[in-house]
Each structure stands twice: as C-alpha cells, then as structure tokens.
Chain A
C-alpha cells in the first residue's frame, strides 16, 4: 500500500515549497503571476506556442540536475513536484549584476518591447547552462519555441553566441541532485483533483479505481483543453513521476521507449535507430514542447496530425498497453480506430512503444510539410520505409499523417510497390495509388488538393533519395 501526501513539494527560490490547497488545473504561470506576484514570466498565448512564459525546471538525472525550459502556461502546478523551479526573477545576482545571458541580451540590443525577453532569457539560460559552446544552429533550435515580433531575432541569436564569451554570476541558481532526491518519498500526491503516483503499480491501481480520470504526461496537448477549452479534467492523473515509464531500453533488436519519455530524452536513441528521424525531431514543437511532451502522449492523443505515429508505423513499431494486471501489445497502426477514437479501454494506459531496428537494406525517411518550418503542426507528414533486396522491394510501409482521420498506412500504394523493382514505373504506379489510399480535407493548414499533390511528390523525393542520394532534393535545413 503506497502512502499518500496531500501537498506538492518542490524547490523554489532557495526553499522547499509545499502547496496543499491548489486546484489541479491551475497553471504554473497563473500561480507565479497571481499568487506569488512574480510577474516577470509573461503570458503571450496560453497555449505553449510563444515561449513568453518559459521557466526552467530542474530534474535530478544521472547524478546531476538537468534544467529544462518548459512553458509555464500549460504546465499544471502539480507537475512541479520534485523539481526545482527557476524563473527570470531568480537569475541576476542579488546585487543586480546580470548573468552572462542577460548581459549578452542587453549588449546585443536583443530586446525591443521586451515582452518576449524573459522567455528568451530563460531559453538561452537553459542552453548556456547545459553546454560549453553552441553553434548558431544550436541557438536556433533552442529558440524554436520562442516568438519575438519586434527584433527579427538577429540580435537574439547574436546574444546566443555572445553569452558564451561573457563571465559573470552563475547562469542560474542550480541546486545539487541530493536536494531534489530528498523530496522523493514514494508517496502518491493528491492535491485538489491532482493525483500523481510514484510507481507503475500505483498508477495502474489508481486508473482502475478512477477510469474516468484524465491521464496527463507532459500536458502539451491536455494543457490547452484547460487554458482554451476551459474543461474540467479532474481527476487528473499525472504519470511524470513513474520511473518505469521514463525508461529507454536500447536493445540490439529493438528500442523500447517508456510512454513517459520526452522527445528530448528519446532524441539520441531514436536517431541511433533511424537517422532519418533527426530532422523530424528537430521540427516537433520547440524546445519547451520537446522537453515536456512525450511520445506516448503523442500517440495516445490520437491526433491525425501527430508527427510520431507515421514514422513509427513505417518502422513497424508496436504499442504496449496495460490495465491493472494485464499487458497487451498491438501494431501501432491498429491503435488508431477513427478520428478521436483509439483502442484504449477505460483504466488502461500506454506503457511503451517498441521499435524494431531496421535491417541492412532498409531505407527509411520521414518528411514533414508545414507552413512554417519550425514549431508548426504538420499539414502532412509522410513516412516511407522500404526493404530492398537486389533492387526489389520486399517490404514497403508508408504512413501519412494529415491525410485521413487517423495516421494511416497507404495500403494500395504499398501493394503497388511490394515485390516490384524499385524504379520509375513502380514509383509512378505507387504515386497514382495514393489517390486510392487518401482523400484529404481542406483546412487552414493546407487544401486537400495540396496535400494529395505533395504526398506523391514526397514519395518521389523518397525515390530520389534512395536511388540518387547525391542529388539534393530538399532544402539544406529541412
């Protein structure tokens, strides 16, 4: 029997904070601004897209405390449990001396209206704290989750270089891992509709007892249900403290990712499995979203435009689910039943996704098309995988997001390829077959006609990359 604690505990401004009387759906941003009077952290959108609300969360990991930028506007207060919260007010030394990041921002004239600035300072502080140097590309990637409407970004990116040349007070008031470890007591936290178990079994029991609960992982989808939809999602069961769900197991045959693994954590292992995923991961949300958001959540959310299902389906991934005592597994594509409907029973939850390692002869690529390159939702996302033996397609798996009501395989196109020599004729047949696989709709991201047209063109790009890899067929940074 696990014990229960009626308060959230976390580190903030040099002390342990215990909050007992807070609502589950209160965001970290509202708490900071309204209750704590810490107004340096701004609200620009309340949906995780602008980064004005960026704060840092310290998490004990492998004997160190890792600080990650997250969006306070869609982080629920309970998610601070066991973390160290750092906001823009905590950076400069007590005598007012600016940190190298802050000083660089001033010197580079990187603020105009200044409203976005605290968010940029936090995002850059995370980068500067984590690394001894950074390329312009690293800085860009660290800033994908921050919008600035005034500066045009050039001075901010310059500050991202300048900050490594300056010395000054510590970039952030980091704590020792022991201080965070001391907060972990194994108890299930229960505060105002927020429930946070610390083990897999406790999670399974809670979900069994309250199957109507909303499971929350990184809240990068769920957060908006509250901030925009004003929905009551209590009881809210947060899975972020279940260590077993955060495991990454890189086996010789397969990669197993716990459902609670974030994009940031999974990134290196996924790239080792399939280098083609690198460019996609670099285009999912911004750093804040990748730090909080999980691949399990992306799958469980069941969105037709989620970016991970198409490549994982193409790679032949299997999903692992658990209800109280029972574990089952199914091919990922079978999880998606219809728009908004997944093969998930009440009380059941996703534990892991398992991806087989591609064999020699496997070619794999995933292409994301969106209006803006970074931090945008896909108009469509196409993933292609073929296994070639002597130029013949022995296996073909094509999956698209944004082309149907669910992430969906291109069964007709695959059939047109399977067993055939991978040449222009087969390519043209497969492209023609896509019209039988998909009938995409018009919306604000793209017209159905464009989606259809591009789907074929992406297959053509895949063909070019598999047959003539030297010829550039995509932009340098895509």
Chain B
C-alpha cells in the first residue's frame, strides 16, 4: 500500500456494501445458488388444511407412489425430539401429531428427485382431520378463557389508579394494530449435506445459525458438535429468520440423514407465508389521566397479543412492547400489562422492532387522544410530555433515560421541516379543497438497545492474519443486507490500519464461532464489532510486542499508521511486519469476545436496566388523502435520526430509509387477512401489498443527527440502527389521521387503526363526518 494518510474503508467511511458488485452482476450466491451437489433431492412440506382439529388419519400412500418420490417423513421418523420450540417449552413440533393447531401446520415432508415432483406429490396426501373449535382472533381467545402461551408481564410505576382518578381529565379507548409479514425477498431455504458418522452440514438462510445448529441436533438426537450450520448471506430476514428457519433446516437435515443424500427444502412463497410467523397483531386498551395543559398524569394500558399456537418469541416480544409503551414520553404513573394470547393461527415471531413498535404506537395514540381532547396540536402535546430532566426521566421499568436527545431532535426537525408554517398553510388549503385533504405529523422515536434476555448480549469473532498480510474475518453475526459484514470489516481494517480490501469477509458458520446469539435486536455491529475489534487487538498487541522486542524499542514506540507500522524511527509495511512476525513464530490468529456491560433485568420485580442505551429519531410526514375513496399518497417526509457516530453513513442511511418504508408498509397497505376457516388469504405478493418505488415519499429528506455520539462505550461510539427507523413511519399514520381529522374540523380524534388501508381511511372519514354532523 502506498503511503497515503488514510486507509480505504476505515471506520466512518461511506463504503458500499461489501457485496454490491456481486449483487448487481448476479454473482452473489444465496443458499439456493450453491451449486447442486451430486444426488441432490428436494423436500416439500405437507401442510394441514384446518385451523384446529384432531388428526384421524394421515394416508401418505399416494404421496409415496408419486413419480420421483424418494421418501416420506413424519414425526415417527424423527430420531431425536419432534420439537423445535426455541424456548424449551416443547410447544412447537416439527410435524404435528394428534392435533393440528393452525391452518398450514406441517404434517409431513416428502422428498423427491425434483422440487416439482416433491410439490406435486405433497398434494396427494389424504388427511382426515376432525375439526375442533378454532380460536382465530383475540375476541375468541378472550371468550375462550384467555389461554396464554407464555407468562405475561406487568410494569408498574407509581400509583396509577390514584393518578388517573385524581386527574382533571380522563379518557379511554381501544386500538387495534395489524400484524405484518416479513416478506424477505428470499424465502426460507435450507440445504443439508449428510456427512460421515452422523455428521450433517446445513446451509440455512438464518439469522441464528447457532440455534439452527442446536435445533437440528435436538431433532436428530445428536450432540451439537455433529452439526455445522453456515450462512453467507440472506436475501432479507427482518426477524423472520430468527427462529423460523429452524423448521426448514430441521426437515432438510432429517431428510438428508434419513436418505443419506443432500436435500434442499425451499418452500414456495405461499407456503412460506402460510407456515411461518409474523409480527404480532395486538389490541390495546388504554386509559389516560391528564391535566388541562396536556400533561399526562397516569397511563394504563393492556396489550393483548395474538401469539398463535405456541410461545416462540412471544414472551420477549410482548415484554418489549411494554418497554416501549412510553415511546419518548414520561408517564409519571403507569401500569402496563401484556396478555400474550394463544390462538389457532401461525405462531407469531420476531419482526424488526420486536414488539416495540406496537407499544410506541399505543403511546402515540394516547398523545393524540389528549391533543384532540384539548384541541391542541399533537406536536404541542408531544413536546409537553417528552422525557426531560432527572425528575422526568424514569421509565415504567425504572431505568433512567440518561442519554435523552429526543427534545433536541424534535425541535431541530420541526425547524428543518418547517412544521408550524406548513401546518398553518395546510389547514388553509384544506378549507378550500372539498375532496383532497392534506395532513402533517411529527413523531419521535426512542428505542432501547440490547437483548432483554441479558445472556444474549455476547458475541465472538475469529480473525486470522495470514503470512502475506491479508486478513480473514469471521464472527457470529449474519449478513441479511444490513451491511454488518462491511461495518465489522471496517472496524478490523481500522484496528490494523489496512485497507478494508485486505480484509476478507467470510460466511458465518458455527464451527468457527460457537454459541452465538441471533443477529437481532439491532445489536449486530455493537456486539460483533466489539468482538472483532477485540480479536484484532489481540493480534495487534502481539505484533506490537514483536515489533518492540525485535527492534529494541519500547511498546509505546510502536504505532499502526495507514498501511504501515512505525517502530521507533523506522517504518515497516504492515505486510512486512506480519511476515517477520510469522517467521518469528508469533501467533497471528485470535478469537475475540464481548459482552455488553451495565445491563441487568429483574423480570419478576419489573425493574432494572434492560437497555445499554437508547437510539432516537424523529420524522415529519405530509400526506394527501382523497376523502371520497380513502386513497392517499405520501407527499413529503423529513427525518432526523440518531446513529451516534456512524460506522458507515451510507449503510446507516440505507437502514433509515428502508426501515421507514417498511414501517410505512406495515401501517398502510400491508394487511393480513384470514378467512373464517383460519386460512391466510393474503399469502403472496399478489394479495399482500408491501410498498413499491412509487409509494416512497415523493420528497424524502433524510439526515443523520449531527453531533451525536453514544454516551456509552460502544464500538467507536456508534449506535444501533437496524430497528429504530421502522418506527419513524408512525409519522405517516398520524399524518393520515390529521388529514382525516380535517373533515370534522379537527374536533374529533380519528382513531385511525393500522393498517390504514384506503378502506380504513374512508371508514374513519365517514365516521367523523357522521359524528360531526
């Protein structure tokens, strides 16, 4: 490397995604693109066609006899446990036996020479299921006694009953919040290769290779050391591949081991959507006490969540809902309760935000209600209630908000977006426009960073420096498009002061870094960046020792400069120093480990510090609504988002924009629709509508918050960015609400529940017009 003053691709540089070139040329290999091994067979799942019922018979003779079929697998073929429950509750079988618990539950798998043959054969099963009463929605769940899939949680701060009772004003309401399908562009897939002596290697599109490894071992009755799970990249995940990959990997591995052939399982998009969990839909009952100035005095909320047939991650998801039911607001007294209800539907799971978004939506609804009750602008009420100084900094879980920049962000954004002037202009324009009404809203975001299960907050990395000075990097985090691999490579490049091109990023695999946590909770770069830095530092320390010793200088006389190392008065190219170190038998490989400090959480007491820090943001959205049809479009969005000191501003910006649009989809056009038989009818992109290019805001101004650095010692003082931006899209829902409110001269709260499809928007318009009459 030349003697430049700066390395290429160090920390804070807006590097392109490491695979960008491969993406645009079609050369990036996803699991389905791995060259087919000889003898590859294909599996297809047979799914139940009843929401709840007793399996009377499962006749697979026709399936077995179908052309190209190699074998059929049911629960009785499982050598280990017929269980892929990620919580150890044994409430989630690979294949249903005895009882079917949701429409689309896997009953068997068929393996055939081709994928087409397997799909055709799967449809030939003769299954007799005696229907049992199916609990499909929250009302039915409550009516049937309210069975829970996991222990509920209550967070309590102060005496909320007294606070609400004593409040000058009170109101109560209910909000229904829709679910969301992940719609990762690459569906689930697993490819399993049988090895010798019971070993199996699985290529899986998963955010959680270690869990897939453990599940496969569990199902096959093997110790974990026989199973290797690898993933180079996913075509999107968003939480949908945190636990949901287990099924596909387990079945592929079971088939591979049983037939002693490589087996791939790639479900059709319809099966993927029907058989895998989604974001929880919830119903929130809220009551709020407030004063005439709009200060909230007490809040009570109950979140009923449709969890589906099993616990999956519903416990931590609904906990996180409660942790975020304050959003950025100080509730002086609060009681927040979760009700994780069992239903005969697919088991809902992690999805970007992990329950947090539903809590935050409820908080914003409460604020909106107060604003309308008092005839104030919602932004005024937001500003009034935002977390503040020490006296107004305690959350309902008794962690103090110490790094609060929400007020500053909101004020800066209101100015940047010219909120008040536009608000006035809009209202004037609405008065003159009979059909098309405009709406504007500014909403903030505060999101807690860390896994709330403390033990997940650990990570490992493995760094090799080869004798030629090139570096190979591996860590437990997975790449799903979020740019984690690049960020971590930038960290390693920075540590060694070499160009990032010299750092080879490699697939995540359980045999290099063990016992990893899911790449989730926005924690990927926080955890893996630190682990990789620790690994790189260990090697750098050895190189420093070696250089100091071999040149007879003190350690502090050794420093790593771009592409070279200064040793006393001499400078040696990095590669040369490495070569010398190798010759001197210095170990050039190291593991790194990291665990997040400071955090603790006592669930029973409802107290602790579950979050290492908070990420903040704010968005202002303007929409236009056709009040005759409910159609709308997003005219302009301004965002100010906090990423601390960015590791890579280009990648962070991408996360913000992408998260926003994904959140907007959740709150607008993405509607999950089950029929009376419990069948998901929006099971493909033809019926389930995620945003398109033409849905993106027509004007989209995105800025990273300036002068922000993480108060905590995170990797280069950056902040997590994966999840928080999704909730910036709340501004769109509230802008729609504002436009709707115009039809009743802003006197009534529209109570617009998401997803705000055109039909829902029109219903709100009609309701307000009726009420205002």
Contacts and interface: CB of A to CB of B under 8 A. Distances in A.
B766 to A, nearest CB: 8
B123 interface: yes
A63 interface: no
Contacts of B435: 461, 464, 471-474
A102 B24 contact: yes
Contacts of A42: 30, 185-186, 235
A377 B681 CA distance: 14
Nearest to A445: B687
A157 B757 CA distance: 25
Contacts of A369: 629, 631, 758
A347 B660 CA distance: 52
Nearest to A107: B16
A39 B26 contact: yes
Interface in A433-478: 443-447, 450, 453-454, 457-458, 460-461, 464, 471-478
A105 interface: yes
11 contacts: A42-B235, A44-B685, A106-B20, A106-B24, A114-B235, A115-B30, A148-B185, A372-B689, A454-B629, A472-B435, A475-B626
Nearest to B627: A457
A40 B659 CA distance: 26
Contacts of B119: 230
Given A157-B693, A228-B270, A457-B628, 19 more contacts: A39-B33, A45-B684, A102-B24, A105-B20, A112-B481, A112-B482, A113-B233, A115-B184, A118-B24, A147-B685, A151-B657, A152-B659, A152-B660, A152-B696, A228-B268, A372-B669, A443-B673, A447-B759, A472-B436
B689 A47 contact: no
A117 to B, nearest CB: 4
Nearest to A160: B693
Contact of B694 (A47, A458, A477): A477
A46 B116 CA distance: 13
A372 B185 contact: no
Given A49-B686, A369-B629, A376-B689, A153 B24 contact: no
B727 to A, nearest CB: 14
A458 B661 CA distance: 29
A156 B238 CA distance: 20
Interface string A98-118: 100110011101011111111
Contact of A49 (B673, B684, B696): B684
A156 B658 CA distance: 11
The residue among A39, A140, A147, A372 with the most chain B CB atoms within 10 A of its own CB is: A372
Contact of B29 (A39, A377, A473): A39
Nearest to A114: B23
Nearest to B270: A228
B120 interface: yes
Interface stretch (A86-94, A236-244, A409-417): A86-94
Contacts of A371: 669, 671, 689, 757-759
Nearest to B24: A102
Contacts of B385: none
Contact of A98 (B17, B25, B651): B25
B236 interface: yes
A196 interface: no
A167 B650 CA distance: 23
A454 B763 CA distance: 11
A121 interface: yes
Contact of B185 (A41, A147, A375): A147
Interface of B: 14, 16-17, 19-30, 32-33, 35, 116, 119-120, 123, 182-187, 233-238, 268-270, 433-436, 480-483, 624, 626, 628-633, 650-651, 653-654, 657-662, 669, 671, 673, 681-682, 684-687, 689-696, 700, 702, 757-759, 762-763, 766
Contacts of A146: 692-693
A453 B760 CA distance: 13
A140 B700 CA distance: 15
Nearest to B683: A444
Contacts of B629: 369, 454, 457-458, 461
A136 to B, nearest CB: 9
Given A105-B24, A117-B24, A144-B692, A46 B759 contact: no
A475 B624 contact: yes
Given A152-B661, A371-B689, A443 B681 contact: yes
B733 to A, nearest CB: 16
Contacts of A118: 23-24, 26
A161 B185 CA distance: 24
Interface in A118-141: 118, 121, 139-141
A114 B19 contact: yes
Nearest to A282: B694
A150 interface: yes
A266 to B, nearest CB: 22
Interface string A247-268: 0000000000000000000000
A320 interface: no
B21 A373 contact: no
Contacts of A150: 185, 236, 481, 654, 658
A89 B28 CA distance: 11
B21 A106 contact: yes
A149 B236 contact: yes
B685 A109 contact: no
Contacts of B651: 109
Contact of B692 (A91, A147, A445, A474): A147
